[in-house]
Amino acid sequence: MPNSARVPRARRSTKRSEAQRSGATHRVRGTRELLGRIRDQNLKSAAVDDLQAAVTNGMTVPDPLLPKSLAREAPMDLYTSGHRRGVAAAPHAAAAEAGRLILAEGGNAIEAMVAMAAVIAAVYPHMNHVGGDGFWLVRERSGKVRAVMAPGRAGANARRELYRDHEAIPARGPLAALTVPGAVSGWALALEAAKAQGGRLPLSTLLEPAIRHARDGYVVTRSQAALTAAKLAELKDVPGFAAAFLADGKAPEAGATLKQPAFAATLDQLAHAGLTDFYRGDVAREIAADLERVGSPVTRADLEKHKAYVAEPLTVAIGTGTLYNAPPPTQGIASLIILGLFDRLGVREAEGFDHVHGLVEATKRAFLLRDRLVTDPDRLPAPPERFLDPAWLDAEVTRIDRRKAAKWPAPYGEGDTVWMGAADHDGNVVSYIQSIYWEFGSAVVLPSTGVLMQNRGASFSLDPKALNALAPGRLPFHTLNPALAVLRDGRVMAYGTMGGDGQPQTQAAVFTRHVHFRQPLAEALDAPRWLLGRTWGSTHTNLRLESRFSAGVVDRLLSAGHDVEILDESYSDTMGHAGAVVLHQNGTLEAGHDPRADGGAAGV
């Protein structure tokens, strides 16, 4: 064979992670751990033999088979359907269960999401906290879709001169904690919408599950243990981190119990004083004092001025319906462009070369545009809607070669985040994303309040000519983007994922599988995924695939010129933690979440 015709070989990753290998394996592993704990504690139960049989057969284990002291740790279902009152999906079981409880109490989907947002901060702190930002898409029962935007601006003292001794803004420590935490303001604004939709539950009820988890303790997940160990050197000496998230100065083991007592007290104060106390009350005073003490550029005046706001979502029409996403400073436009371009490619079958190659090439086109456009909404170089116009998309799709990979790489974005969804019987559907940017954000934990501060401001550039140049009061670029679709067949689907640059790609994979190619939701979330570009600390900018893709697809991607790397994992955290909730035209509800995460779906 001539050299020019040789098919390159895919690189195979030699780096192993702690990621679970499949949804079934994840559940069996959790059950094995429980069985081991039963034996270690010399617990006597007639159900132990049944539990062993379930482990052997790869089954999930219902609570009745477990001793009551361990039943709460049984894995949650990843998928649920046929519900009439409401559903919730989250990357941690405790958050999904909190949403289910609120729905069972008669709360609506927006109220359920506030409870979930608080719980996920209490039990999944490596991925998010109230020191971060949040973005909502809310589809009301009237059919109106609104974006609730809660990003934090750079502090008044966040000037380039502060970083004169740095080539770039540090990723950890007080100088990385340079933007106002916006998430709680988003909760408050969302609750105003909840009341307009008939919401009636008191804030104390919504925050009670989170207060309990933070006060009484939460079980450290596999991912928190692994990420703490991997990043320990850069985290352990940051103010407040060791006291909050280490065990005797070491990374905690999976299954250990940690508490966040100061955070519990903060939530309790907010439950009684109201969420605005976080910005203009006693909690704000404590936050500002601790920020000043550690040397953050965020001031009390910055907290007082902060407000969430409602915006019109970006939309694009495709053959199957209308897609919605958040406007700048998020990368929501990239997610919409990818699906708008893919719709025009006319791909007929899932999982083959045309499906993967088409989405990867659409991603490249979308990211090139995104990196020239998205910044603080007050500084946009062009209206985002221009690039969602059918004529623009029709012209742009002609730039995609159906057989050959375009050159890459381009700049990238990292991120550790959570996406959660909820829907109710009245037709309210919520897509929500909450983040502190990198794992554990800046790693600064404020001692008086237990607030873990984000490092989103590290995405600013110290180059004054850059699109996202640092300046006091500016909003940073956000990879966060919650997605929602109103489909022609009457369904409403909220979906999303964590994962930085992987967010638009995983959204596209899940959406096209479930909507374009009619895969059941659980299968669409489980199916093998890919990632173009860097994330999670990788130095590679290539196209990484989970190991379950067929050899035929891999060979064709290589032949087309893609720089392919096959990950060792069949289910990798690198590919994000995705989920979705669906409201059907007949009023039934379904929800699913990712086997790569620690959560699931629940309904009433």
Residue 136 pLDDT: 98
Q: Kindly indicate the confidence band of residue 538, based on its pLDDT and cuts at 50, 70 and 90.
A: low
Please report, rounded to a whole number, the percentage of residues in the chain having pLDDT higher than 70: 85
- CA–CA distance from 562 to each of 351, 407, 527, 538 (Å)? 16, 9, 21, 18
Residue 189 pLDDT: 98
For the ranges 12-26, 261-275, 324-338, 438-452, the lowest mean pLDDT is seen at: 12-26
Q: Give the residue extent of every domain in the chain.
A: 84-308+430-459, 311-415+480-603
Beta-carbon count within 10 A of 470 CB? 24
Residue 173 pLDDT: 98
Q: Kindly indicate the confidence band of residue 27, based on its pLDDT and cuts at 50, 70 and 90.
A: very low
pLDDT higher for 546 or 28? 546
- Sheet holding 321-325: strands in order across? 79-83, 589-593, 578-583, 492-497, 483-487, 321-325, 314-318
Tokens coding 300: 């009390």
Backbone angles phi, psi at 440, to 5 degrees: 65, 15
Distance CA 524, CA 356 (A): 14
pLDDT at 262 over 60: yes
pLDDT at 5 over 90: no
Tokens coding 568: 């060792």
Q: What is the mean pLDDT of residues 231-254?
A: 97
Amino acid at 487: L
Which run of H or E residues covers position 565?
A: strand 564-566
- Give ∠ CA 422-583-579 in degrees, rounded to 5: 50
pLDDT at 19 over 70: no
pLDDT at 409 over 60: yes
Residue 533 pLDDT: 82
Distance CA 192, CA 174 (A): 33
The strand ranges marked E within 242-347 are: 257-258, 309-311, 314-318, 321-325
Residue 416 pLDDT: 61
For the ranges 410-419, 548-557, 568-577, 580-589, the lowest mean pLDDT is seen at: 410-419
Distance CA 316, CA 107 (A): 31
3-state SS of 279-294 is HHCHHHHHHHHHHHHH
The sign of the dihedral angle between the CA atoms of 209, 214, 215, 218 is positive
Q: What is the mean pLDDT of residues 261-267?
A: 98
pLDDT at 429 over 90: yes
pLDDT at 602 over 50: yes
User: Distance from first CA to last CA of the chain, Å, rounded?
Assistant: 61
Q: Kindly indicate the confidence band of residue 501, based on its pLDDT and cuts at 50, 70 and 90.
A: confident
At the topology level, CATH places domain 311-415+480-603 in Glutamine Phosphoribosylpyrophosphate, subunit 1, domain 1 (3.60.20)
Q: Which residue, 43, 98, 39, is CA-closest to 69?
A: 43
Tokens coding 261: 């007592």
For the ranges 89-103, 332-346, 495-509, the lowest mean pLDDT is seen at: 495-509
Query: 193-224 pLDDT, tens per residue?
Result: 999 999 999 999 999 999 999 999 999 999 99
Residues 6+ apart with CB under 8 A from 177: 131, 291, 294, 296, 298, 441, 442, 444, 453, 454, 455, 457
pLDDT at 591 over 50: yes
Residue 382 pLDDT: 95
Active-site choice (179, 363, 375, 417): 417
Answer yes or no: 417 catalytic.
Answer: yes
Query: 118-162 pLDDT, tens per residue?
Result: 999 999 999 999 999 999 999 999 999 999 999 999 999 999 999
For the ranges 361-370, 419-428, 496-505, 507-516, the lowest mean pLDDT is seen at: 496-505
- Give ∠ CA 446-452-458 in degrees, rounded to 5: 110
- Assess contact for 533 and 409: CB atoms under 8 A: yes
**How much is the pTM?**
0.88
Distance CA 131, CA 109 (A): 23
Query: 483-499 pLDDT, tens per residue?
Result: 999 999 999 999 999 87
Residue 7 pLDDT: 39
Query: 539-559 pLDDT, tens per residue?
Result: 567 999 999 999 999 999 999
Q: What is the mean pLDDT of residues 297-318?
A: 98
